[in-house]
Amino acid sequence: GLRSGKLGEQCEAVVRFPRLFQKYPFPILINSAFLKLADVFRVGNNFLRLCVLKVTQQSEKHLEKILNVDEFVKRVFSVIHSNDPVARAITLRMLGSMASIIPERKNAHHSIRQSLDSHDNVEVEAAIFAAANFSAQSKDFAAGICNKISEMIQGLATPVDLKLKLIPILQHMHHDASLASSSRQLLQQLVTSYPSTKMVIVTLHTFTLLAASSLVDIPKQIQLLLQYLKNDPRKAVKRLAIQDLKLLANKTPHTWSRENIQALCESALHTPYDSLKLGMLSVLSTLSGTIAIKQYFSSAAGTTATTARSFDLVKLAQECCYHNNPGIAAHGVRILTNISASCQEKDLLPLEQDAVFGLEALLVLCSQDDSPGAQATLKITFTCMVKLVKCRPHLSQSVVESLLTQLHSAQDAARILMCHCLAAIAMQLPVLADGMLGDLIDLYKLIGQSATDKKQELLVSLATVIFVSSQKALSSEIKTVIKQQLENASNGWTAYRIARQASRMGNHDMARELYQSLLTEVASEHFYFWLNSLKEFSHAEQCLTGLQEDNYSSALSCIAEALKSYHRGIASLTAASTPLNPLSFQCGFVKLRIDLLQAFSQLICTCNSLKTSPPPAIATTIAMTSGNDLQRCGRISNQACMKHSMEEFRSLAARYGDLYQSSFDADSATLRNVELQQQSCLLISHAVEALILDPESASFQEYSLNGTAQVESEYERRMMSVFNHVLEEVESLNRKYAPVSYLATCLCNAVIALLKVPLSFQRYFFQKLQSTSIKLALSPSPRNPAEPIAVQNNQQLALKVEGVVQHGSKPGLFRKIQSVCLNVSSVLQSKSGQDYKIPIDNMTNEMEQRVEPHNDYFSTQFLLNFVILGTHNITVESSVIDSNGIVWKTGPKTTIFVKSLEDPYSQQVRLQQQQGQPPSQQQQQRTAYSRF
């Protein structure tokens, strides 16, 4: 390792540090590791120093965990006095990489200033790198170095290539308005004084980055870039202007005025170069999806009564829709789609038609081409199609027909994208009629017989479209075709993916058969149990599809059969879990489903008993006389069962809410699915209360708004339809004061209607696209977890909580962590044997703090009192708050034990009191104040 005498082994040890930091990302290890690296940097040769520099740059987010910053800097900084300019250069780069933790170190500032005057090019370039990093972190350094940088840039002795490296430092001069203003004036002088292409490009880009950071000068910068785009004849400068305009369009679209967009449209209309036109249209298509487009149309509305078609932006988009360059055509169509989606004027019907025709033309053109450029254009086209259909449902039929027509003749890569688009449209709107299934099945047979490299992917995509288009039930013919093609042409992974999609779409019969066929294809025991559990769940849900209204004995037997399969499935699912993959969401979701089915079964039984032993004819009169409305149900056992059912459904709704809160990494469709299950529990508990337990005070206002949300899937559409139907039935019966048998029938029908909608197993049940976990470390912490920490009862324990947020391959895909909420509570576990009175200020500790992670690390401290003698159990629980302010109970929960001991002086006084001796005068004066 580092102690080896061989240079190669030392270098190998150094470059392994970043992996070590990832594995153990806590300050205690990182501090000692960086001190070791600083020693290597101080005594090693330049190659070792270079390795340490690379490690420091790779581990930038761990630098703030260094506890002994002074010692670390002292060891590194000692090399700055070396006679070797390369060693000094590496040290400067090292200091620049550490700028985030030492932004105000004056000795580092002084060394950078000195090195800027060096005669060695390597040292000067290193000083420029360090100056840029320190300028970004320190206001004082930026203010001090600004004049020096401007002198060097304007000095005749400074070579041009060095000036090109110095100019970008000015982008960090945004710490206050005066500094930004002086830097902007300098850049303005440079752009006019040095008209060479390289200087103009670097200066303009620095100008843009400075404006984007300081915010106040963005409108001026947009005008300057548009001016260069229009007047400068050099293509390189025009390209740079377009690139910077794109940056500003993404960052601050609200600062674009109508005049800016108009100027960009005019430039795009008049330019003869396709590459430049493509860039300008890219900026305009970005702006068309933001608030800027509304500003563009509304600011002209008061001046003249123009139609949308007369605007230059619309003319440009219409002109580009059929351009021979597919990229330009795609951006033109995207602009038209965004205008149609965001502007609701009456005269937009022709624009909608233009957008549809343009999309169809692009579809025909690019579906025959499998080049990467054509695929990128197709992705834009299909995104526009889905967006257009979502906001203009009347266009869906023509869009879907054109997709189905092209599906037969397109290349395989394009077919896959088409299938995704068709499935996305059909999930929003039920546009895929049964008449279209024939074409899809024929195509499925054709693909099964072909031999292309995209065949497996295409089989999955096309099967998904078939499932979406026939979500109510798959005919035996379709099942046979799919299974035949899978047997002939596919591997096990393809069959599993198709089965997964069938489970998601509610085609449980098909899914069960596919899972059954895969059971013998897997090598791992865990995979076997996983597939077996999926097969049992699919079988259970298939049992529920045979439910019929008004046939309650059949319903009870179906639910009992489903519960048998679910219990077998949960046993397999538990066997499939491993310590690395505990399947906690899956187990929680299935257990809730089992409890929900049992609750439904119990409610049907209770309703049946109400019918077999109905209340007497005078039950209503008895209820009114006694003031107990439950008397309407007749026997006391029925009353208790109904009340128990209502409480059970409310408890299930609360548990679904807990499952929702613990699923931070779940996609939105999965969360919506959990929410629908929760709403179904609340609906039944509300129906029981409104019909039987408390009909007088039942309110329907809070439940009637659920249907207003945007429906994202067929499953959600059907569930919302059932919710609304049940609510209407309950409300009408509630007003009529109907007999109890009618009320029981209504409840049973509501249960059967909910169970008849096939359950959808969403993506998170099978696949985790985002992974987020928190690792906590407490100090002080005992060597042995069962061993308590000793604390005297007259002292407070300072508990330090440190944590690291760990991410998977796609951090922040669905939601990001804004802050971490830490809750610390203590419970007295066992009291000491002595029984005497002690003044108690606070018996328990209950504290909460919110901390914002920086570079995925956070730390905070709590002061805890332990006045009562004995063993206390301290629990630290973390939860996460996302960028929308929603709290997620992600965990983890950590526990330590503290033993509160009596302080020696109090113990001595107590013993003397027990023996009947008064405490000595000297001991009485021993207080906290006697020492001062």
- List, for residues 780-823, the tens digit of each pLDDT value: 988 888 889 999 888 889 999 999 999 988 888 899 999 999 99
Is the pLDDT at 705 greater than 50, yes or no?
no
Res 332 pLDDT > 90: yes
Contact partners, residue 22, CB within 8 Å, separation at least 6: none
The tokens of 809 are what? 């391959």
Across 113-117, 731-735, 742-746, 904-908, the highest mean pLDDT is recorded for: 113-117
Based on the fold, state whether residues 757 and 860 are members of the same structural domain: no
Q: What is the pLDDT of residue 629?
A: 55
* Total number of domains in the chain: 5
Give tens-digit pLDDT for 840-888. Answer: 545 678 999 999 999 899 999 999 988 888 889 999 999 999 999 999 9
Kindly report each contact of residues 720-729 with a partner whose C-beta sits within 8 Å and lies 24 or more positions away, as own/partner: 722/753, 722/754, 722/757, 723/679, 723/680, 723/683, 725/753, 726/683, 726/687, 726/750, 726/753, 726/754, 727/683, 727/700, 727/703
Structure tokens at 165: 């490296």
Place of tokens 């929760």: 678
User: First CA to last CA across the chain, in angstroms?
Assistant: 53
Report the pLDDT value the prediction gives residue 699, as an integer from 0 to 100: 59
Q: Same structural domain for residues 733 and 817? A: no
CATH, residue 73:
1.25.10.10
Residue 95: inside a domain: yes
Same domain for 663 and 715, yes or no, is: yes
Lowest mean pLDDT among 264-268, 754-758, 792-796, 915-919: 915-919
Asked if 691 and 553 sit in the same domain, the reply is yes
User: 739-788, pLDDT tens digit by residue?
Assistant: 777 888 899 999 999 999 999 999 999 999 999 999 999 999 888 888 89
- Are 583 and 732 in a shared domain? yes
Task: Find out whether 382 and 420 touch, Cβ atoms under 8 Å.
Answer: yes
- Mapped to the 3 state alphabet, what secondary structure does 713-765 carry? CHHHHHHHHHHHHHHHHHHHHHHHCCCHHHHHHHHHHHHHHHHHCCCCCCHHH
| Of 742 and 142, the one with more pLDDT | 142
Specify whether 482 is located in the same domain as 551.
no
SS3 857: strand
Q: Tell me which of 109-113, 213-217, 500-504, 796-800 is least confident.
A: 213-217
| 31: in domain | yes
pLDDT-derived band at 892, boundaries 50, 70, 90: very high
Nearest residue to 6 (alpha-carbon basis) of 35, 33, 44 = 44
What's the pLDDT at 3? 84
Q: Is residue 928 part of a domain?
A: yes
Q: What percent of the chain has pLDDT over 90?
A: 58
Examine residue 313 and state whether it is found in any structural domain, yes or no.
no
pTM of the model: 0.86
SS3 assignment, position 848: strand
Least confident interval from 50-54, 312-316, 668-672? 312-316
3-state helix, strand and coil shares in percent for the chain, rounded to the nearest 5: 65, 10, 25
pLDDT above 80 (res 551): yes
Q: Single out the residue in 108, 137, 166 at which a domain terminates.
A: 137
Residue 807 CB-density burial (10 A; 0-12 exposed, 13-18 middle, 19+ buried): middle
Confidence of residue 917 (pLDDT cuts 50, 70, 90): low
pLDDT in tens, 210-231: 999 988 889 999 999 999 999 9
DSSP code of residue 854: B
The strand ranges marked E within 268-328 are: none
Q: Indicate if the pLDDT at residue 923 is higher than 60.
A: no
Q: Do residue 760 and residue 748 come from a single domain?
A: yes
* Average confidence (pLDDT) over 381-393: 90
Distance CA 404, CA 402 (A): 6
SS3 875: strand
> For residue 628, is pLDDT > 70?
no
Q: Which of 725, 751, 766 is the last residue of a domain?
A: 766
What is the structure's pLDDT at 5?
83
Look at 527-536, 710-719, 748-757 and tell me which has the smallest mean pLDDT.
710-719
Does residue 327 lie within any of the structural domains?
A: no
Residue 381 lies in a domain: no
Task: Give the domain extent around 591.
Answer: 525-532+546-766
**Tens digits of per-residue pLDDT, 653-674?**
999 999 999 999 999 999 999 9
pLDDT over 80 (residue 26): yes
Q: Answer whether residue 693 shows pLDDT above 60.
A: yes
* Residue 549 clears pLDDT 70, i.e. is over it: yes
> b/e map of 679-689 (b: 16 or more CB within 10 Å)?
bbbbbbbbbbb
Instruction: Answer for the pair 315, 269: CB distance below 8 angstroms, yes or no.
Output: yes
Residue 830 tokens read as: 């066992």
pLDDT at 642: 84
Together in a domain, 829 and 816 = yes
| 13-25 mean pLDDT | 92
- The pLDDT mean for the chain works out to 87
Element at 167 (helix H, strand E): none
Question: 646 lies in a domain?
Answer: yes
Same domain, 652 and 756: yes
Instruction: Say whether both 915 and 853 belong to one domain.
Output: no
Asked if residue 203 is part of any domain, the answer here is no
Predicted confidence band of residue 305 (pLDDT cuts 50, 70, 90) = very low
* Pure H helices in 408-551: 412-428, 437-449, 455-469, 476-489, 492-505, 508-518, 525-543
Whether residue 628 is found in the same domain as residue 730: yes
Closest CA to 499 of 472, 475, 532: 532
Element (H, E) at 406: helix 396-407
- For CA atoms 155, 158, 160, 165, the dihedral sign is negative
Between CA 130 and CA 124 the distance in angstroms is 10
Say what the pLDDT of residue 484 is.
Answer: 84
Domain boundary among 107, 137, 167: 137
Phi, psi dihedral angles at 864 (to 5 degrees): -115, 140
Which range scores top for mean pLDDT: 680-694, 699-713, 896-910?
Answer: 680-694
Question: Both 23 and 71 in a single domain?
Answer: yes
799: closest CA among 779, 819, 823?
A: 779
Query: Using 50, 70 and 90 to split pLDDT, how confident is the model at 304?
Result: very low
Model confidence at 137: pLDDT above 60: yes
- Residue 133, H or E segment: helix 121-137
